[in-house]
Structures are given as C-alpha cells and as structure tokens.
Amino acid sequence: MKNTKKNIPIYQLHPFENHPYKVQDNEEMERLTESIMQHGILTPIIVRPLENTTDEYEIISGHRRVMASQKAGITEIPALIVSLDRDAAAIVLVDSNLHREHILPSEKAFAYKLKAEALAHQGWRTDLTSGQVVPKSDDNRTTAQIGADVGDSYKTVQRYIRLTNLIPEILQYVDEGRISFTPAVELSYLTDQEQYDLLEEMELNDCTPSLSQACRFKKMSQAHGLTPESITEIMSEEKANQREMFKVPMERIRQFVPKASAKQTEDFVLKACEHYHRYLIRQRNRDER
C-alpha cells in the first residue's frame, strides 16, 4: 500500500494507544485553534490504517491538531495515510515529538519506553540495564542509543525510563518541578505502597525529599523495606539548604491562576506582591503631600 493523502472525518480517527505525550487544553491549544480557524490545517496529520477495520485510522502525528480542529468545529482533516505496523508507527510518533520546545519529564519517560519496546518487537535487543540497543543479528551488528537524535546518552535514556515506575501523583510532582530529576530516579525504586506512604508525608507537611533522602529511601527499601515511620523520621530532618518558607494553600490561589503550573503560580504570586508593594508606595507618597 502506497502512502496517500485525503481528508478524513474526525470520527474515524483514534488516538495512538499509550500515547506518551499530553494533549492539554491550554493557552497554546487556544492559539492553535484560532490559527486553524483562520488559515485551516497547513500540515496534514499522519495516520495509519487500523488492522481489521474499514476506514478507521490511528493517529501517529497530529493529536494536537485534531483536538484543535474539533474545538474549531471542523469535521474533516487532511491526513497522510502511511503503511506502518504499530511498532514502526510508535518509533515515528516518538521521534516526531521529542524535538518539541516544551516536553515534560513524564512525556519523555514514556516516549523512551514506548520506543524501546517497539525496537525490541522489531528484533532489536533492548537492554535497559546497560541502556544499549543492539540488533540480534550478528551481521552488521551495531549499537543504537535511543536518545542519540536529541543528544541524550543511553544512561540518560535508562534513567528517564525509570521514571515510568513512579506512581502518577509523584510523577506529577516531577512534571511540576517540585521534585528534581535525580531524586525522582532514586524514588522510582520504591514499591508502590512505599511511594504512596511517601506521598502522604509530602502532602501532609508540604515537603519533598532531597537527593540524599531519596537515596536513603531507596537503600532502605531494597534492604528491608521502608515503613511510614521511617519515612516520617527521615523527612522531618532539617535539610542542609532548608530555608524559611511561607505557605499558602493552593486552593486559595487557583481561582486566580486555574491552569498554571507550580512555577508559573509562584511567578504570578511574586509579581502580584511586587505590584501591591508599588501600590503601597504610591499611596504613602500621596499621603505625605
């Protein structure tokens, strides 16, 4: 089957199963929707025919354009139909999105995992311990690094894939920048129950583990298990770089910045404080006249 182009009704399009990238209804989506309403879809999406179906397609590239088209009220979308099996399609999907300007740690983690699994199914040996991807065949035996195209070493790829072992709630902390990448990798070795115990401690005291604490958690988990009591004891220790913090419940801020990330919310609060400070100075100057 040759690659063909045609307009496809949106109802015949299906998201790629286990799609690693998040399609968010945010400001960028609103801008894309407005662009499509004004100029149409300039670049066709890429799809593949679904097996054992008639006129049903799986999206390989273009999930955001499809969502924006739906918001714009468009019923058909131009598409390039390619003849690829699921594993080949998974590799194309991952590679076509890894160069995006903004990509979350969780997206990169599941993207690398999806590509590693696809390579393994295609007959490549994927050793996630060493990070090497090597063809089974002895002929023209080569070593491929999954992240080579984006400048990540095989060790970095391995560590990103480890993040897929985190429970969703802790992985969200990583996406929001509240837990750094290296401590998150160490926490990925904890069991699910240990992670939920840690999550309860973090939410109760609005705190996150340092790299040193995360390493200790991993060591204790692998040695004899990690109890809620030991988590509380370690988390209650003062960190070397611990500073005085002023805490405000997030629900009191969300009404002003409902869709912002943790970093964006922090920036908003600081700018609001600066604005109010300037207002107080102007008021004082008026009173002194």
Instruction: Using alpha carbons only, give the angle 269, 168, 48 rounded to the nearest 5 degrees.
Output: 110
Query: How many CA atoms lie less than 13 Å away from 7 in the CB half-sphere?
Result: 9
pLDDT score, position 100: 72
Here the CATH number for the domain that contains residue 42 is: 3.90.1530.10
Q: How far apart are CA 177 and CA 201, in angstroms?
A: 18
pLDDT score, position 143: 28
Same domain, 12 and 60: yes
Tell me the C-alpha to C-alpha distance, in Å, between residue 270 and each of 19, 263, 274.
36, 11, 6
CA-wise closest residue to 111 among 96, 126, 130: 96
Q: How far apart are CA 118 and CA 48, in angstroms?
A: 16
Q: Is 53 buried (19+), middle (13-18) or exposed (0-12) by CB count in 10 A?
A: exposed
Segment 205-213 shows an average pLDDT of 93
Same domain, 227 and 254: no
Q: Strand 45-49 and strand 76-81: pairing? A: parallel
Q: How far apart are CA 253 and CA 115, in angstroms?
A: 39
State both tokens at 80.
């390039």
Q: How far apart are CA 128 and CA 19, in angstroms?
A: 20
CA-wise closest residue to 216 among 184, 186, 241, 239: 186
pLDDT score, position 47: 93
**Assigned domain for 48 exists:** yes
pLDDT score, position 247: 66
Domain span holding position 45: 1-84
pLDDT score, position 139: 28
Average pLDDT score over the chain: 82
Q: How confident is the model at residue 97 (pLDDT cuts 50, 70, 90)?
A: confident
Segment 259-266 shows an average pLDDT of 73
pLDDT score, position 124: 54
**Assigned domain for 211 exists:** yes
Looking at per-residue confidence, does 287 or 74 come out higher?
Answer: 74
Check pLDDT > 70 for residue 43.
Answer: yes
**Assigned domain for 21 exists:** yes
Segment 24-45 shows an average pLDDT of 90
Per-residue pLDDT tens over the stretch 5-24? 999 999 999 988 888 888 88
Same domain, 217 and 277: no
Q: Which of 61, 84, 107 is the last residue of a domain?
A: 84
SS (H, E, C) 137-173: CCCCCCCECCCHHHCCCHHHHHHHHHHHHCCHHHHHH
Looking at per-residue confidence, does 61 or 184 come out higher?
Answer: 184
Site of tokens 């969703």: 168
Per-residue pLDDT tens over the stretch 129-183? 444 444 444 322 222 447 666 677 778 888 999 999 999 999 999 999 999 999 9
Q: How confident is the model at residue 228 (pLDDT cuts 50, 70, 90)?
A: very high
pLDDT score, position 107: 92
Reported as type and span, the H/E element at residue 216 is: helix 211-223
Q: Strand 13-14 and strand 45-49: pairing? A: unpaired
pLDDT score, position 144: 47
**Assigned domain for 194 exists:** yes
Segment 236-259 shows an average pLDDT of 66
Same domain, 7 and 80: yes
Which residue type, as a one-letter code, is found at position 247? K
Same domain, 225 and 254: no
Same domain, 57 and 21: yes
Q: How far apart are CA 126 and CA 233, in angstroms?
A: 39
Same domain, 72 and 34: yes
SS3 call for 126: strand
Q: What proportion of the chain, given as a percentage, has pLDDT over 90?
A: 44
Looking at per-residue confidence, does 41 or 133 come out higher?
Answer: 41
**Assigned domain for 50 exists:** yes
Same domain, 263 and 190: no
pLDDT score, position 238: 65
Q: Which of 84, 103, 134 is the last residue of a domain?
A: 84
Q: Which of 84, 117, 142 is the last residue of a domain?
A: 84
pLDDT score, position 251: 66
Q: Strand 45-49 and strand 57-61: pairing? A: antiparallel
**Assigned domain for 195 exists:** yes
Our count of domains for the chain comes to 3
**Assigned domain for 169 exists:** no
Same domain, 277 and 216: no
In the chain, how many H helices and how many E strands? 11, 7
Check pLDDT > 70 for residue 193.
Answer: yes
**Assigned domain for 224 exists:** yes
